[in-house]
Amino acid sequence: MKRLTRSIDITTRVVDNYGDAGVALRLLRSLSLMGREFRIRLFIDDPSILEILLGGGWRFGGAGTVLRLEALSVSVFDWSDLQPLESEDGPDLLIEMFGGGLPDSYLPAISSGRPEEAAGIVWLNLEHLTAEHWASDYHLTPSFSPDPHLNKFFFMPGFREGLGGLIFDSAFLSLKRKWDGLDRAGKRAERRKLLDRWEIPCGEAQADDIWVSVFSYEKDFAALVEYACRANDTTLLLSPGKGTALLEGMMRERGAGGKCLSLPFLPQGEWDELLFSCDINLVRGEESLSRAALSGRPFLWQAYPFAEEGQMEKVEAFVDLLCPGNREISGLFVAYNQNRGCEVFSHLMKTGASTAELFKNFAKKLENFGNCADQLIQFSDNYIRFSKGR
């Protein structure tokens, strides 16, 4: 029987809000639905973040606390706890999230005195998501390894064929099919179920409104406030954060607080359902961008702002893939990241069926490029077969 990937170590640091840990959890969920058995250990520098992302259904109780995802059991360890490495073999696959490094004693523990075993480990640096062209130049190319016995490679997720794809799974696609198949009455009923679950009071008419979800960095919201105050049939659903708190305050100052529904912190699966339930999603950062793009709903993406609008290169690279040659849609993304007027939102609402089809087709294309977790495991399986000479 051919040797396949059986054991996986994942290391991640919580650097920017919940995003880094969120991607790690998405990856674990995807691995759990592959139909294969893995022994997985997660090393994270702040396990309490997982408690928040999982919605209170799990608590970290110390080294080796088991996190169950579908049929998969993940052993969770604090960053500094290397107890498992003293008694167990190293992994077949080591995934270092976003170049965040490894615990100080990790490499000596898995390679000391066992160079032949270490040489069979696949070490992948799962990089940040970007639409920029240079990602294709780095995908699956060698990366610097501080241990001569270990081979390390870049793994680039992305929006292009030939890259590592985006993280999704069968549960996400089933949820998408469910919402895509609803008529107006069915959509209204499902929306009310969501609001009841989240304990959010809502007027009967609001369930039929145009729903716009907002997850944003702090920015100038004047254009969005102006649009929302003018539109009689639009409700803003606000995910928690400093940015949306600022937006809600501005809406209340205009006497339009009733047009905002403040959401609780949602576990990942419910946040996916929020995206599907909305007509338009305003998202920020990388992890939310990937989910919005896969949802097939019209959206605008706010890139993390840099000095002198350095983020615009990322925005322009993305819209070149989303809508090549479509100046209307690409212009909306640029305008949203440059805080331009309320016509940005008015235009997105009015572009109708052709715009909706553009986003649906883009989501389908991303699905066809393949799931990131599948491609990680495929590369690892092939490497192991080659290194073992089988």
Strand 210-214 versus strand 65-69 pairing type: unpaired
DSSP string, 55-86: TTS----STTEEEEETTEEEEEEETT--HHHH
| Residue 129 contacts residue 22 (beta carbons within 8 Å) | no
Can you read off the two tokens belonging to residue 261? 């529904």
- Sign of the CA dihedral with 187 first, then 288, 94, and 80 last: negative
What are the start-end ranges of the E strands in the chain? 7-12, 39-44, 65-69, 72-78, 93-97, 122-126, 142-143, 151-155, 210-214, 234-238, 260-262, 280-284, 299-302
Can you tell me the distance from the alpha carbon of 180 to that of 121, in angstroms, rounded to the nearest whole number?
42
Can you tell me the distance from the alpha carbon of 300 to that of 293, in angstroms, rounded to the nearest whole number?
10
- Residue with tokens 């579908």, as numbered in its chain: 70
Can you tell me the distance from the alpha carbon of 147 to that of 151, in angstroms, rounded to the nearest whole number?
8
Distances (CA, A) of 330 to 275, 309, 317, 318: 21, 16, 10, 9
pLDDT digits (tens, 9 = 90+) for 11-69: 999 876 677 899 999 999 999 999 899 999 999 999 989 988 888 778 999 888 999 98
Can you read off the two tokens belonging to residue 236? 């803003």
What string of pLDDT tens digits covers the 390 residues of the chain? 456 899 999 999 987 667 789 999 999 999 999 989 999 999 999 998 998 888 877 899 988 899 998 878 999 999 877 665 655 678 999 999 999 999 888 888 887 656 666 677 899 999 999 999 999 999 999 999 988 888 899 999 999 999 999 999 999 999 999 999 999 999 999 999 999 999 998 776 788 999 999 999 988 888 889 888 888 889 999 999 989 999 999 999 999 888 999 999 999 999 999 999 999 999 998 999 999 999 999 999 999 888 878 899 999 999 999 999 998 899 889 989 987 766 677 777 666 667 889 999 999 999 999 999 999 999 999 998 877 654
| Residue 116 contacts residue 89 (beta carbons within 8 Å) | no
Closest CA to 300 of 270, 278, 269: 278
CA geometry: angle at 238 spanning 330 and 256, to 5°?
100
Q: Is the pTM of this model over 0.85?
A: yes
Strand 65-69 versus strand 72-78 pairing type: antiparallel
